[in-house]
Every structure is written in structure tokens, then in C-alpha cells.
Amino acid sequence: MEISVAKSSSVCSSNTALLVALELSKATWVIALSAPFSDRISHHSITGGDADALLKLIGQARSRAEAALGQPVRVVCCYEAGYDGF
């Protein structure tokens, strides 16, 4: 998966970004996904520390967004590390 850093102004003006928010703890990671073609935010939980499951989830969401839009979709991510997170 390609990871790039974008200036915040380009993120706000883009309709082709999959927005990912993470809440991290040792036990559970909660992921919120906002696709560029939908007003809904989907929420998912995975076992804390399962980076493979996280990348798979983001990759699948990105693929769905690219198929729906017919063009490449950037992934923009932010996270909040909980008290017992890292």
C-alpha cells in the first residue's frame, strides 16, 4: 500500500480521499472510514496490534472507492492513541 503525506488544504478540497480515523488501545483498535462517494461513516473493530487486519480493511475500502469513482483514491489517516495505546 502506498502511503503519502498531503497538505491539509489539498485534503479538504479533494473528493478522492478515503478518510481513516483510528482509536488505538492494546486490546482493540476502532477504525472509522469515510469514503469519498458516501455521506456515511463506517465503524470497524479489530484486535489491538493487528496491523495486517488494519491494512487489509483499508485496502478493501480503497478498492471499493476506486471502483465506485473510476479513479485513484488517496488514503488520509489520523489517529488517537488511547491511555493504554502507544
Q: Note the pLDDT tens digit of each residue in 23-35.
A: 988 899 999 999 9
Evaluate whether residue 46 is within a structural domain. Answer: yes
Of 34, 53, 52, 51, residue with least CA distance to 43: 34
Evaluate whether residue 48 is within a structural domain. Answer: yes
Evaluate whether residue 38 is within a structural domain. Answer: yes
Evaluate whether residue 7 is within a structural domain. Answer: no
Query: Which of the four pLDDT bands, split at 50, 70 and 90, describes residue 13?
Result: very low
Evaluate whether residue 11 is within a structural domain. Answer: no
pLDDT greater than 70 at residue 20:
yes
pLDDT at 38: 87
Query: In terms of pLDDT, which residue wins out, 2 or 31?
Result: 31
Evaluate whether residue 67 is within a structural domain. Answer: yes
Evaluate whether residue 53 is within a structural domain. Answer: yes
Q: Give this prediction's pTM.
A: 0.77
Q: How many CB atoms lie within 10 A of CB 3?
A: 7
Domain that holds residue 34: 18-81
Number of domains forming the structure of the chain: 1
Q: Note the pLDDT tens digit of each residue in 46-81.
A: 999 999 999 999 999 999 999 999 999 999 999 886
Evaluate whether residue 77 is within a structural domain. Answer: yes
